[in-house]
Amino acid sequence: MARMQRLLANLLGGWFQLHRRFPAELLDEMAAAIAAGERGHKGEIRFAVESRLTPLAVLGGLDARGRAQQLFAQLRVWDTEHNSGVLFYVLMAEHRIEIIADRGIAARVTTAEWDAICARMRVCYAHGQWRDGSLEGIAAAHALLLRHFPGNDKASPDELSDRPVLL
């Protein structure tokens, strides 16, 4: 997407749609799904949804991947005992989904596996199925984490909040 197209998308993007597409009830469901899945593996999942980027950020060259990396640090997804944090980032204005995995997971799970999850979520979102896309993405991430980071004694407390964050 060219920078001017991105600028327009973010200027006109759906900040007003954020709470309509991700109402409190869905956020509760997502948090419950994240918490339930984390009981079976050593991974930690965070989910962030942003309506749009600021015009200055877009003009400065910030894209969805770069913003996801910023949030990975800001939300301290990297700060887990097993280096097993995963961030889902949705940028509504540009219809972008990024998944950033910490180094412990990135060493075992391929980019293609994360891309497949993003693609499935994108299809659901394109059809207005925000709930299904989000919950399917979370379930698919749990399946990967269970395969690559099985077991969880949960002797340590939940390291990251399970509640999705709306920006």
Report how far apart, in Å, the C-alpha atoms of 48 and of each of 59, 108, 126 are.
Answer: 22, 23, 18
Q: What is the per-residue pLDDT across 67-108, written as a single tens digit (0 to 9) for each?
A: 999 999 999 999 888 899 999 999 999 999 999 999 999 999
Domain architecture of the chain: domains with CATH: 3-166 (3.10.310.50)
Task: Say what the pTM is.
Answer: 0.91
8 Å CB contact between 94 and 64: yes
Residues of the chain with pLDDT under 50: none
The pLDDT value recorded for residue 121 is 98
Q: Is residue 28 within a helix (H) or strand (E), and if so which, with residue range?
A: helix 24-38
136: Cβ contacts below 8 Å, ≥ 6 apart:
120, 121, 124
The pLDDT value recorded for residue 151 is 79
What backbone phi and psi angles, to 5 degrees, belong to 127? -95, 15
The pLDDT value recorded for residue 4 is 78
3-state secondary structure of 14: coil
The pLDDT value recorded for residue 19 is 86
The pLDDT value recorded for residue 159 is 85
142, 116, 120, 139: which is closest to 129 by C-alpha? 120
